[in-house]
Structure 1
């Protein structure tokens, strides 16, 4: 096999957990950060080096986009904003920021899973009742039968429609308690028993209490989104400036400026020679021509009057 000193091992995030490949005692690993990485994912990747701290080392590589995202996420909790370039910052400070950002991503991931579990718990309540309705009305779904509206509504509870409609306006952000309350209201028909109502109302009340605690965080996120929108607008303005510069470059374009050869015999009829025109007709863009005698002619190879826009004289 390949000796350890000449071996290169690549770990992707999916297959990192549980992988145990033996490396040399002084092996060095290069680890990258992803925008959705959590602290657990980071730790699992780093500890593929079983001898870390005992000779084996880990070098962390962060692309500029992820670094900027990390700085924006941590900006609301900083006492003093970071103004130094990342290359000039102490390594320890950057590692602290990385750890804090990964923990923040972990909290966000857990919060998302918690909200999803709340929605599933609510849906489980009315799906039980809808399932019982379908069992009672099963004969209606036979070939010769016609299902009633109640049976069809019970069946739709288990369907998850995919909406391809594109809204004409940007949807306003909603609190999670508002989302789950709207979810409950649409299926109120199947929340009939006291036990079901207690479970659903308890989940809605808990979501509202959690939203009260998360309001400052949501406000910070809205501020961050507004800042990102400003950055996008500034980028668009820069792109427009670049387009204007390109337009100016086109205005100074020097295409079709190759000299067109002409025969000496054409000088016999000097007036009809198409390669010349009167010098009194010569003028630059948006400039008035000067007065010259009609006997003075100018070659089109020097300046063609068909050229449009600003020109630089040879």
Structure 2
């Protein structure tokens, strides 16, 4: 098995929304804001090469949304999915599986693209199975008012229409080759890949832990549908991560790719942060 970090681009989100009830005077120490109160975010995906399977975990925002829509998120930087795949000698047509942690647009937008004449949509990964889970899929296709702006039908419906949709069950390792942790605080049945790699455990954090700045328990996003549940899910997970020395792969942290955590008198806190290649070769 080989794992590669795949940078698909950067964007910005409102810092207050990202940290909920935590005051700006505190959260800006780890996540500095610009003059519009926006903080920099990554859309860092993961590519898993395992035998004849090439699995992409999440896809970034894609490029089919309108300029008006994308303008709300201040996309910046030179990263793209295609250039990041090419860096490791791959093309999107090589992808056999796309695993979507959840169906918010910044995680799944790249799975569907315009067709050649921009009259409709087509798969961005024509040879891939696309993995979600039934509970989350049903949650997304009939969205609640709070999440409706994040569940975009043009990102979601074509997956099923194209015949690519597959559902993860509790025996996820038999289906995709790695374990999956289910989390319900951010959205219904978000899935976090848990991967044994080079003698260590990597957990792809998706939106349970967007950045190292979110490690303290009360630092919960305003976007979460069940913030008290997120707090409890973080407590249980971070204690285990500290006990077992998990490496946490950060999808949204613009500055840190990986981190570890440790127990302190104040609770679980950051131990160290790393580039992926600092730890894994």
- TM-score interval (norm. to shorter): under 0.3
* Structure that is richer in strand per residue: 2
- TM, length-normalised to structure 2: 0.21
Task: Name whichever structure is richer in helix by fraction.
Answer: 1
TM-score when normalising by structure 1: 0.19
Structure number with greater CO (CA < 8 Å, separation at least 6) is 2
